[in-house]
Amino acid sequence: MKRIAAALFGLAVPLGTVQAEAAPGTRTSAHDFSFQMPHGNPLTLKEFEGKAVLVVNTATECGFSGQLSGLQQLQETYGDKGLVVLGVPSNDFGGQEPRDDGEIAKFCEARYGATFPMTAKTSVKGRNAHPFYQWAAEMLGPAARPYWNFHKYLIGPDGSIVAWFATPTSPTSNRITSEIETVLGSLTDS
């Protein structure tokens, strides 16, 4: 019940390093996944090995869409230090992403100044959820699944899930920035 409350009320859940105890050949790292980009090219998370990645399911017509500005602020503040913000547009919650793939990034930049990478529209919940989201739910349990737009996963340089943050958690909140700074600090310590 506490995990569900955390999901609904925006509590951050730092996890340390989460690794799967899985049979050979199964996916054990975020680096094992790829997303489609708006024009069909794949984006493999392996490309971000050695960096921190904040994966966020977005929707331009959501009441939380103002978080796109905060996500851009994170990218600008921490990008040179090793953070990548990755937007994953989704229409899974209330049909709040009506735009076509080619229009989403343009709209986000024009309205919110968001220039961080945005994948093609992707399902993040249920049976049709992208394999990354299925894996994250399997690793972390049901409370860590996206229950609305702007759910956030912080991926460490090794591909582990370091923490997750529910929708109401502002991208620029101390909860998120302190986790990012901890992960980025580990990059400079090694």
**Residue 50: what residue type?**
G
Contacts of 148 (CB under 8 A, 6+ apart): 62, 64, 93, 167
Helix or strand holding residue 177 (H, E): helix 174-189
Helix or strand holding residue 68 (H, E): helix 67-78
62 is catalytic: yes
Catalytic residue among 18, 54, 59, 62: 62
**Residue 5: what residue type?**
A
Strands, E assignment, 9-116: 12-14, 34-36, 42-44, 52-58, 83-89
Helix axis angle, 174-189 to 67-78, nearest 10°: 20
Q: Tell me which residues are annotated as active site.
A: 62
